[in-house]
Amino acid sequence: MSQPRVDPPYRIGDVVRLRKTHPCGSSDWEVIRTGIDFGLKCLGCGRRVMVPRHRFERSVKERLKIGDGVPRLPGMPAGGEPSAT
């Protein structure tokens, strides 16, 4: 008997598609915070929202991209080190 497929837990930087679309027309969101609540950023308009974990997990349709789990600060490049300018 095979094991059921289990996705790894959601991480910061994941891009997910939710079942319902945002009023701006996009249904793709980036995970910007995890925990008991999830912080999400709309990839269409940039709006940020907080969603309880159980509601988030029910509303995810698919995971489009797996993030690296490292939070991004404004002005910080993807490598994680601030630029020496």
Residue of 37, 30, 33, 68 lying closest to 51 (CA atoms): 37
Number of folded domains that form the chain: 1
Is 4 inside any structural domain? no
Looking at the domain assignment, is residue 76 inside a domain?
A: no
Q: Which residue has the tokens 């079942």?
A: 19
What domain range includes position 57?
15-65
pLDDT at 39: 95
Kindly report the length of the chain. Answer: 85
Quote the mean pLDDT of the chain: 83
34-63 pLDDT, tens digit each: 989 999 999 999 999 999 999 999 999 999
CATH number at residue 35: 2.30.30
For position 68, what pLDDT does the model report?
77
- Residue 39: inside a domain, yes or no? yes
DSSP-derived secondary structure for 14-81 = -EEEESSPPTTS--EEEEEE-SSEEEEEETTT--EEEEEHHHHHHHEEEEEE---SPPPPTT--TTSS
State the Cα–Cα distance between residues 1 and 49, nearest whole angstrom. 41
Q: What is the pTM of this model?
A: 0.73
- Tell me the Cα Rg of the chain: 14
- Amino acid identity of 4? P
The answer, yes or no, to whether residue 17 has pLDDT greater than 80, is yes
Q: Is 50 part of a structural domain of the chain?
A: yes
